Chain A
Amino acid sequence: MSEQTYEPKIVGFLCNWCSYAGADLAGAARLKYPPNIKIIRVPCSGRVSPELVIRTFREGADGVMVLGCHIGDCHYATGNHRTARRMPVLRALLEFTGIESERLLVKWVSSSEGELFAQTVREFTEKLRQMPPLGLRMTSSK
């Protein structure tokens, strides 16, 4: 299993107002976290459709992170309430299709929680390292 060379690939969808700013803070504060994540900025975690997550796995990601503002702090009032309701359903769906649901991480990280962001990436990378690569890369026409 865990060959020395396997490095998980993580795509993080971070909301612009809280989590993206939190990640920015992690950088500004020079906190260390593994380079296994690439971040995609979305306006709100509510913008992340289940389909986009599945698509990301299909394109070869080993893990997907959806980070948004804490409940009650959403810049768009209740956008993250949608995320909170949508993602558990997606998780069940992932299990159904044979993708371990732990590969999808949904968490609330505020713009002041740079350390929480760094720690989340560290822990998630570590967890994925213990799992085999997902290797779902398929050619897509679009």
Chain B
Amino acid sequence: MMDAGRHPNITLLTYSEVESVSGYVGNFVVRIRKRARSVKEDLCTGCGTCEENCPRRVVDTVYEAGLGYRTAIYRPFAQAVPAIPVIDRENCLYFTKGKCRICEKVCPTHAIDYTQEDTILEVEVGNIILATGFDPFDARRIPQFGYGRFPNVFTSLELERMLSGAGPTGGKVVLRDGKTVPQRVAIIHCVGSRDKNYREYCSRVCCMYSLKLAHLIHHKTHAEVYNFYIDIRAPGKMYEEFYHRVLDEGIHFVRGKVAQVTDAARGPEEEGRLVVQFEDTLTGLQRRMPVDMVVLAIGLEPRHDSREVARLFGISTDADGWFKEKHPKLDPVATMTDGVFVAGCAQGPKDIPDSVAQGAAAAARVLSLIGQGEVEVEAATAVVDELMCVGCGQCIQACPYSAIEYLEDRRIAHVIEALCKGCGTCVGACPSKAISLRHFTDQQLIWEMRGAIYGMQVQHAEHRGN
């Protein structure tokens, strides 16, 4: 991150959002809304004095997964690049109550500016890489696991924060009361994944991070750790070896789906604890296990806004909402829109090594395009017969790539060849037969069709003759 932040050829626009994209490979124009940080970027040195003095505390639901606090003027996390804070105007005392302005007083470089407004930037770029990532599955959607209802049911994300030395508990694994160390922990795998009611796919990272969590929890607390799994999926370099190491450490594995987590005790040993009710598919028995802490290994979901983002950049998503690559095996980085590439979890669930590899691949693809200096365009593109076109706009609506523009002055449609992918959907839509697709013209298809029918007639006649 630091390297990217310092690189002379990289401009980082954080706290910014793409509003619109026009143009095509080599010639995109991107409109970006740079949100008002209320901090002047050229003056701020990232000293953090404002954060130290801000009196407003807000629960940090993003980075600390709800376990810690941040101030109203904050940086998302300690190592954030750039190290420039932002004022969260919804929570800032000055913006909500009109009083405070402490940060302005303490800032040694006078970088605070409460009057800053959003600015719109227009940048010209040749290629675009989308790496917008994923949303963690919301564990509340599976009520029988009790997340949000039972305090000691945690998500894996919360555990990640707890296990961090710089995290809200300083690296201690404790129950929601902030002090009790659990003696028995259940990790439930595949929460939201591999489940017909939620997501049918495997999120790919949960098995491995669950093993990591099991290892760390056991290491830090000496608690008994039980993993409830459907299958252990450990495909990757050194992954299976890590699984065996965790097995050797004495972590328990129970194969079977958990039916529910409950606090309704059926005996003294369950009293005051959480009870995991499950089917052990290796013994075929329904069982109950009292535990102190439950960790839900939540899966990865497409970002809630992935379809809108895809539309913005003229690409498509699959049925689940992941960005669709050009070809799942042969072109997993490009998209059907030339000049737009995907990387990381935005394209589908994957772990960090795979995300990094895909990111590097996307960058390499962009570099090769830049190096070539020219792009190949589809030869079979659509053309508008200007005399026939009545300017009804049917083709413009039909085109999946927004490749047809309306020429106001001449009141006709016009195909931008660099954008046209040659699907011919416009041809099927044009009521005036004014638009045709090179190499698949009506005439060509009609002759082909006639030939086909004639061929069949001859074939059948011969058949009858024999």
Q: Which residues of A contact B (CB under 8 A)?
A: 5, 7, 9, 11, 35-36, 38-40, 42-44, 46-52, 55-56, 59-61, 72-79, 82-83, 86, 142
Contacts and interface: CB of A to CB of B under 8 A. Distances in A.
Contact of A47 (B315, B427, B443, B446): B427
Interface string B124-151: 0000000000000000000000000000
A17 to B, nearest CB: 10
Given A42-B424, A43-B423, A76-B421, A59 B457 contact: no
Contacts of A82: 398, 425, 428-429
A142 B319 CA distance: 43
Contacts of B316: 74, 77-78
Instruction: Specify which of B315, B433, B448, B453 lies most central, judged by the most chain A CB atoms within 10 Å of its CB.
Output: B453
B446 A46 contact: no
Contact of A61 (B400, B440, B453, B459): B453
Contact of A9 (B429, B440, B460): B460
B24 to A, nearest CB: 15
A84 to B, nearest CB: 12
Given A43-B437, A76-B336, A79-B423, A52 B442 contact: yes
24 contacts: A7-B463, A11-B453, A38-B453, A38-B455, A39-B452, A42-B440, A43-B423, A43-B437, A46-B398, A46-B423, A46-B425, A47-B425, A47-B440, A49-B430, A52-B442, A52-B445, A56-B449, A60-B457, A74-B316, A76-B401, A78-B425, A79-B424, A83-B428, A142-B446
Interface in B411-461: 421-425, 427-430, 433, 437, 440, 442-443, 445-446, 448-450, 452-453, 455-457, 459-460
B152 to A, nearest CB: 41
B405 interface: no
A44 B425 contact: yes
A12 to B, nearest CB: 9
B401 A42 contact: no
